[in-house]
Amino acid sequence: MKIKLTDGVYWVGIVDWALKHFHGFELSTHRGSTYNAYVIRDRKTALVDTVWAPFADEFVENVREVIDPTKIDYVIANHAEPDHSGGLPAIMQHCPNATVVVSKKGAESIPGHYHQQWNFKTVGTGDTISLGQHTLTFFAAPMLHWPDSMFTYLAPDAILLPNDAFGQHYATAFRFNDQVNQQELFDEALKYYANILTPYSKQVIAKIDELLAMGLPVGMIAPSHGVIWRDQPLQIVHKYRPWAEQKPLPRAVILYDTMWEATRKMAEAVGEGLCNEGVDFKLFHMAVADRNDVITEIFQSKAILIGSPTLNNGLLPTISPILEDCRGLRFQNKIGAAFGSYGWNGGSVKMIEKHMQDCGVPLVAEGVAAKWQPDANALSRCRELGRTVAHAIQHS
Ligand code: FEO
């Protein structure tokens, strides 16, 4: 399948409706994904990015619908992660003398993945390649999403090909943003940002400001996942800018796990305290919640309240992954508090508090620990914890 963007420019990617997990099992993709690649036909022909290796043969056939793959002159590898570079060996079998264009860091990562003696050309910001009527200009975009990432800009069509940036894990029947459900589209764009790009928010702001300051015309933004932004393409850029500033909404996320319902009762009492002060919250039982959906809620919220019973002198195993996410994603502008039940031996609340402090999340209330099942006094302390956090949200 091929889809025309402009004269001589075609999408030749793959729609992966079945994908439910990405990065192994690190990221849930409830709505599938796409691996977008683009062919530009001119006096010279360029292919921008490829697809994940299991789809390499279908991808080569998509390319063949536009041009005989032996005629490809340039293969632009904007990013080495295998969802975009995995089709390189298959396509390069057809055009072994094509030039593989990589960023300075890509000159390390692409050969490191494929160990092939291809003809490499390394480019940096502002370097260009003329295809005839079309010109490709390259912009280094480190950490959007890897150190090797770069954007390719196509003139005169004014198409920005930013690889991972501005993407969504979103399989759809249609390829353009004006053709799909807008709520789903922005939900997926937000989940993608929160779960993948949050730790690189400083680089996102710098890159957006750099590109906007250049005043390049942008007729389309064609990322390597999800739909192509052709209707008001800069709208996703103007979403990314405040997302990258990480100014949270005045609400809270309560997440917990429980063995015999004691910590659940505490979590709900914390929620009552928030609610009584007019602060909205979402409550997640981590044994059954989707971790990445929880991360998206945390990303948007001011406060994180985490509860776990003490088990084997530690936390319930379902709590540890989200704590690790909080460390790795380096959320900014959060506040936190902890709670949890215990039986013979306690310690979970202190462990969660230490982890939050290590993540740079300031504690705004003393944690609540309850022995065995929480009694009226313990539940009252949980409601008070919720009220204290609510006040901290309201005065932040
Ligand atoms: Fe879609 Fe960083 O790969």
Could you read off the pLDDT of 356-367 as tens digits, one per residue?
Answer: 999 999 999 999
Confidence of residue 25 (pLDDT cuts 50, 70, 90): confident
pTM: 0.97
Going along the chain from its start, the domains and CATH numbers come out as 3-245 (3.60.15.10), 253-391 (3.40.50.360)
Q: How far apart are CA 322 and CA 339, in angstroms?
A: 15
Instruction: List alpha helices for 86-123, DSSP H.
Output: 88-94, 106-114
| Closest by CA position to 207, among listed 219, 195, 221 | 221
Q: How far apart are CA 165 and CA 158, in angstroms?
A: 17
| pLDDT(301) > 90 | yes
- pLDDT for the residue 375: 98
Nearest CA to ligand 1 atom 3: 81
47, 59 Cβ separation under 8 angstroms: no
- pLDDT for the residue 313: 95
- pLDDT for the residue 274: 98
CB of 145 closer than 6 A to ligand 1?
yes
- Give me the DSSP letters along 281-316: EEEEETTTS-HHHHHHHHHHEEEEEEE---BTTB--
What average pLDDT does the chain have?
A: 97
| H or E stretch covering 335 | strand 335-342
| H or E stretch covering 132 | none
Could you read off the pLDDT of 200-241 as tens digits, one per residue?
Answer: 999 999 999 999 999 999 999 999 999 999 999 999 999 999
Q: How far apart are CA 19 and CA 74, in angstroms?
A: 29
| Torsion 93-95-97-102 (CA) sign | negative
| H or E stretch covering 365 | none
Q: Is 10 a catalytic residue?
A: no
- pLDDT for the residue 49: 98
* Rounded mean pLDDT, 358-387: 98
CB of 148 closer than 6 A to ligand 1?
no
Across the strands, what pairs with 371?
342
The conformation of residue 70, written as its DSSP 8-state character, comes to G
Q: How far apart are CA 234 and CA 331, in angstroms?
A: 25
The residues near 205 (Cβ < 8 Å, ≥ 6 apart) are: 241, 244, 245
51, 83 Cβ separation under 8 angstroms: yes
Q: How far apart are CA 120 and CA 99, in angstroms?
A: 6
Atom of ligand 1 nearest to the CA of 164: 1
Give CA angle at 311 (306, 316), nearest 5°.
45
CB of 49 closer than 6 A to ligand 1?
no
Q: How far apart are CA 250 and CA 281, in angstroms?
A: 9
- pLDDT for the residue 21: 96
Active-site residue, from 10, 16, 35, 79:
79
From the CA of 315, how far away is ligand 1's center (Å)? 32
Active-site residue, from 148, 164, 297, 353:
164
- pLDDT for the residue 354: 97
Q: Is 153 a catalytic residue?
A: no
Across the strands, what pairs with 22?
27
Give CA angle at 328 (83, 168), nearest 5°.
35
> Tokens standing for 349?
């609340």
Collapsing DSSP to helix, strand or coil, 143 comes out as: coil
| pLDDT(81) > 90 | yes
- Give me the DSSP letters along 177-205: GGGS-HHHHHHHHHHHIIIIIGGGHHHHH
Q: How far apart are CA 150 and CA 157, in angstroms?
A: 19
Active-site residue, from 10, 16, 49, 145:
145
